[in-house]
């Protein structure tokens, strides 16, 4: 069955947003083709790497807390249905100072939404997690049912299940569409033609290149360095269930993910890095970046001070100006949807985004105002954490 056939929906981009959109649409009875230039969870994609955090805390941003709650439900359901272990309930621990307004807002929102959590005072943190140096931390907020997803493997699993349900997958590059009205087809680098009733472009850091006039520099791709450190032989204090995901947003802008499946203890900055081209730039970490992370590792997790680096990644965030998602119709092509701006916090939301997009492709309706293309500016001012 070739790519010259006609489909109900063509999804371009097999990252977590595109994969879940294709999976949801195929399960809804649509005939779907999913196309990606490099493959699901590839090393250039924003959905690559080994792990991602799934947490409900977003300050007062209930829209994302609710989406994360729905996504966790769908991730768990997917794992139960397929028999795959893609989610680890490690817990997510927010580190807070005495008058930490942001973490206090998270707590208030979790209480309002009925999300299970614990406030932990400094003494309890010391007793429960003695492998962590809690200096500078006055209290913590533990999301007990949150944790981490194995990212690269999870994306591949969703694509595999979409294909099992009847979707087609192809590795190929798709040229950006032109014109107005209703799009009938797109061309690929191999010279194939993909015809479909609707098109969803979920192309991560390539969105601005594919749609230079419509999106252009409204998507900010930034360089993000990630480090994995080898735990000592037989050491279990830095793996679940002994170690939760730890996040310190308000002061240090650092996060860590426990050793999952023997891949290493992950530590990285959450702040946006310099501009990055996903096509042409080398993915080699810098000495400066390693030095900063080692300093944090030695201070916060002293038993890991001399741990060797076992793996590194240079990924990219691909954000809108403030961190809100982009989920909207193309302004000139009525059957084309633009889906992106998810890096830094979007991976967890893949199932809910796929559900949201599928509903609008199938049944119409307007997008959420915060996701609208018209709200996207060209000067970065991060507001979603």
234 and 111 part of one domain: yes
Packing angle, helices 151-164 and 16-27, rounded to 10: 20
List helix spans (H) across the chain: 16-27, 62-82, 101-113, 122-128, 151-164, 207-210, 287-300, 350-363
DSSP tag of 321: S
Last residue of a domain, one of 319, 352, 367: 319
List the domain range (segments joined by +) for residue 166: 6-47+152-217+321-375
pLDDT score for 280? 96
pLDDT score for 375? 97
pLDDT score for 244? 98
Residue 82, in any domain of the structure: no
234 and 369 part of one domain: no
Residue 62, in any domain of the structure: no
CB distance 328 to 280 below 8 Å: no
pLDDT score for 2? 45
Q: How many domains does the chain have?
A: 2
130 and 248 part of one domain: yes
pLDDT in tens, the chain (385 residues): 344 479 999 999 999 999 999 999 999 999 999 999 999 999 999 999 999 999 999 999 999 999 999 999 999 999 999 999 999 999 999 999 999 999 999 999 999 999 999 999 999 999 999 999 999 999 999 999 999 999 999 999 999 999 999 999 999 999 999 899 999 999 999 999 999 999 999 999 999 999 999 999 999 999 999 999 999 999 999 999 999 999 998 778 999 999 999 999 999 999 999 999 999 999 999 999 999 999 999 999 999 999 999 999 999 999 999 999 999 999 999 999 999 999 989 999 999 999 999 999 999 999 999 999 999 999 999 999 9
Residue 251, in any domain of the structure: yes
Phi, psi dihedral angles at 114 (to 5 degrees): 75, 30
CB distance 144 to 91 below 8 Å: yes
pLDDT score for 3? 46
Query: What does 243-301 look like in DSSP terms, one character per residue?
Result: --EEEETTTT-EEEE---TTS-EEEEE-S--SB--TTTS-----HHHHHHHHHHHHHH-
Domain harbouring 20, CATH code: 3.50.50.60
**Which H or E element spans position 121?**
strand 117-121
Residue 69, in any domain of the structure: no
Residue 93, in any domain of the structure: yes
252 and 355 part of one domain: no
């Amino acid at each position: 069955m070739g790519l010259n056939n006609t489909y109900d929906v063509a999804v371009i981009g097999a990252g977590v947003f595109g994969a879940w959109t294709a999976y949801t649409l195929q399960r809804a009875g649509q005939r779907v083709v999913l196309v990606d230039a490099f493959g699901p969870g590839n090393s250039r994609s924003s959905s690559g790497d080994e792990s991602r955090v799934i947490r409900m805390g977003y300050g007062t941003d209930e829209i994302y807390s609710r989406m994360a709650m729905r996504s966790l439900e769908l991730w768990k359901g997917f794992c139960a249905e397929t028999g795959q272990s893609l989610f680890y309930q490690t817990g997510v621990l927010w580190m807070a100072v005495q008058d930490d307004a942001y973490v206090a807002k998270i707590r208030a929102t979790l209480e309002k939404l009925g999300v299970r959590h614990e406030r932990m005072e400094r003494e309890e943190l010391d007793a429960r997690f003695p492998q962590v140096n809690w200096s500078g931390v006055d209290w913590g907020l533990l999301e007990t049912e949150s944790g981490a997803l194995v990212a690269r493997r999870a994306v591949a699993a969703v694509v595999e299940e979409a294909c099992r349900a009847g979707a087609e997958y192809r590795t190929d590059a798709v040229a950006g569409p032109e014109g107005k009205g209703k799009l009938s087809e797109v061309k690929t680098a191999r010279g194939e033609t993909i015809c479909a009733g609707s098109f969803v472009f979920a192309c991560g850091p390539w969105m601005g290149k594919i749609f230079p006039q419509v999106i252009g520099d409204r998507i900010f791709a930034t360089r993000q360095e990630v480090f994995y450190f080898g735990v000592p032989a037989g050491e279990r204090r830095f793996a679940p269930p002994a170690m939760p995901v730890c996040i310190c947003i308000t002061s240090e802008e650092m996060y860590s993910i426990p050793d999952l499946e023997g891949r290493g203890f992950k530590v990285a900055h959450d702040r946006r890095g310099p501009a990055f081209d996903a096509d042409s730039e080398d993915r080699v970490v810098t000495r400066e970046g390693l030095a900063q992370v080692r300093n944090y590792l030695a201070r916060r997790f002293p038993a890991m001070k001399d741990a060797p680096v076992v793996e590194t990644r240079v990924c990219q965030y691909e954000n809108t100006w403030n961190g809100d998602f982009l989920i909207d119709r193309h302004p000139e092509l009525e059957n084309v949807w633009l889906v992106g701006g998810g890096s830094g916090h979007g991976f967890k939301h893949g199932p809910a985004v796929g559900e949201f997009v599928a509903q609008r492709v199938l049944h119409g309706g307007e997008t959420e105002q915060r996701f609208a293309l018209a709200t996207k500016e060209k000067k970065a001012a991060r507001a979603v954490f």
